[in-house]
Amino acid sequence: APARLWGGRFASGPAEAMAALSASTHFDWRLASYDIAGSRAHARVLHRANLLTDDELARMLAALDVLAADVASGAFTPTIADEDVHTALERGLLERVGTDLGGKLRAGRSRNDQVATLFRMWLRDAARRVAAGTLDVVDALAAQAAAHPDAAMPGRTHLQHAQPVLLGHQLLAHAQALLRDVDRLRDWDARTAFSPYGSGALAGSSLGLDPAAVAADLGFDGPVENSIDGTASRDFAAEIAFCLAMLGVNLSRIAEEVIIWTTSEFHYAVLDDAWATGSSIMPQKKNPDVAELTRGKSGRLIGNLTGLLATLKAQPLAYNRDLQEDKEPLFDSVEQLELLLPAIAGMLETIRYDTERMAASAPAGFTLATDIAEWLVRQGVPFRVAHEAAGDSVRRAEARGVGLDELTDEELAACSPHLTPEVRTVLTVQGSISSRDAYGGTAPARVAEQLARLTAKSQDY
Ligand code: ARG
């Protein structure tokens, strides 16, 4: 007979369709090693509460070691009759240590507090892996910024040419967002580092078991304050689903830029062959599939967040079986990011920027107009007047089909009596970029400082 955990009050086993609906081992088997770690910790507190003898504890731990090895080697796997990972591993334990001793381990715990704890453990490890993968992307962006200290490009708003910036400044903007994603995962971990183990089904244990000891054993900062909350809440899952969705969205913004920058029209960047794909019909094609999959999968990560929130909405306290639906979206978000992050890092490390083409387009679209206005402000002209005069100079240059730096002295003077030929000192991309030297600005020295601080911070993690 299958080792169901709740057979006693039932005259028959579940209907086939009931069992098929209920089964979760095809996804929650990922929690197996965490479940066994929980069982070891639980055995120790049972022993400390005099519910296992020294000898029983030793035999229990030895059997759990064998079970862990068999799970790792694939010698022990869940069967169709095992409802979930916890049930399957209980069967595995009973098979190895016998039902008399094996049957003692369930005292004082429930699958409700088990699964709430193990899911936190799995996610905490996953968050560290995702953070490490994200830092690799940060490193790739930082390396490209360091390799191109003087490369200028048109900075954009509304995708229109706005003001010249350094390529490094733009790349580090993405890096800053990713570093915040890592920060968010770390902040999340501090809130999630509390163990529900020992909460039982919801009300806590009557057996003198110490939740703090289990928590410490499993690497948590302490036990949860409230056993009902501990078994019923999944805001930790929703919160990391948001962190992962936000990361996906930030990655998709990088991806979108790669897609645009590698078009023939832009040609700001060329993908390395190892990080691009071809077309089955068009021999010339080199497609940015890494970037497109990133953009596409970000939608999936958002869906995983919104789906989970909808699952959690309006569930009464405490545990409900709806909560079994919490795991697949998170497993998926993590697994998708573990595929994406190394590919994005590789793509960004090896992408070649056409810095000449970028620099040539940097002044196009009159990106130096703000420099004229701000030069006038430094001569004491009110900004409102300066903005008008600079706009006038754009109108005249556009009408004549020349750049702002090509306007004659007379044309400049006609825009404003204050517009003397000296304004031409700022009418170069280099002059404009180096004039923006406030903290966080695009001047080369400021971008270099920003890069140094970012590198120090990411290496500190
Ligand atoms: N497999 C369930 C889950 O993932 C845990 C089992 C709790 N089941 C129950 N009937 N109390 O949430």
- Counting from 1 in the atom list of ligand 1, the atom nearest the Cα of 323 is 12
Instruction: Give the whole-angstrom CA distance, residue 417 versus residue 388.
Output: 13
Measured from the CB, is residue 324 less than 6 Å from ligand 1? yes
Task: Quote the ligand 1 centre to 181 CA distance (angstroms).
Answer: 31
Angle at 377 between CA 373 and CA 381, to 5 degrees: 105
Task: Quote the ligand 1 centre to 35 CA distance (angstroms).
Answer: 13
The model carries a pTM of 0.95
Instruction: Give the whole-angstrom CA distance, residue 401 versus residue 452.
Output: 41
Given the structure tokens 């089909």, which residue do they identify?
401
ipTM attached to this prediction: 0.93
Q: Domain boundaries in the chain?
A: 16-107, 112-209+220-357, 369-427
In this structure, the residue with its CA closest to atom 6 of ligand 1 is 111
Please report the pLDDT score of residue 53 as a whole number. 98
Measured from the CB, is residue 318 less than 6 Å from ligand 1? no
Please report the pLDDT score of residue 1 as a whole number. 45
Task: Quote the ligand 1 centre to 336 CA distance (angstroms).
Answer: 25
Using most ligand atoms within 8 A of CB, pick from 321, 323, 328 the residue to mutate for ligand 1: 321
State yes or no: pLDDT of 3 exceeds 70.
Answer: no
Give the residue numbers annotated as catalytic, written as ranges: 158, 279
Instruction: Give the whole-angstrom CA distance, residue 83 versus residue 73.
Output: 22
In this structure, the residue with its CA closest to atom 10 of ligand 1 is 321
297-334 pLDDT, tens digit each: 999 999 999 999 999 999 999 999 999 999 999 999 99
Domain 112-209+220-357 annotated CATH 1.20.200.10: yes
Using most ligand atoms within 8 A of CB, pick from 31, 35, 319 the residue to mutate for ligand 1: 319
Measured from the CB, is residue 435 less than 6 Å from ligand 1? no
The topology under which CATH files domain 16-107 is Fumarase C; Chain B, domain 1 (1.10.275)
Task: Quote the ligand 1 centre to 24 CA distance (angstroms).
Answer: 9
Q: CB count, 10 Å around CB of 50?
A: 9
On whether the CB atoms of residues 421 and 427 are closer than 8 A, the answer is: no
The average pLDDT across 82-100 equals: 96
On whether the CB atoms of residues 370 and 352 are closer than 8 A, the answer is: no
Pairs from 265-274 (Cβ < 8 Å, separation ≥ 24): 267/354, 267/357, 268/153, 268/353, 268/354, 268/357, 268/358, 269/351, 269/352, 269/353, 269/354, 270/351, 270/352, 270/354, 271/347, 271/350, 271/351, 272/347, 272/350, 272/351, 272/352, 274/346, 274/350
In this structure, the residue with its CA closest to atom 12 of ligand 1 is 324
Please report the pLDDT score of residue 289 as a whole number. 97
The token pair at 409 is 């002295």
33-71 pLDDT, tens digit each: 999 999 999 999 999 999 999 999 999 999 999 999 999
Q: Which CATH architecture has domain 369-427?
A: Orthogonal Bundle (1.10)
Angle at 98 between CA 94 and CA 102, to 5 degrees: 55
Task: Quote the ligand 1 centre to 156 CA distance (angstroms).
Answer: 51
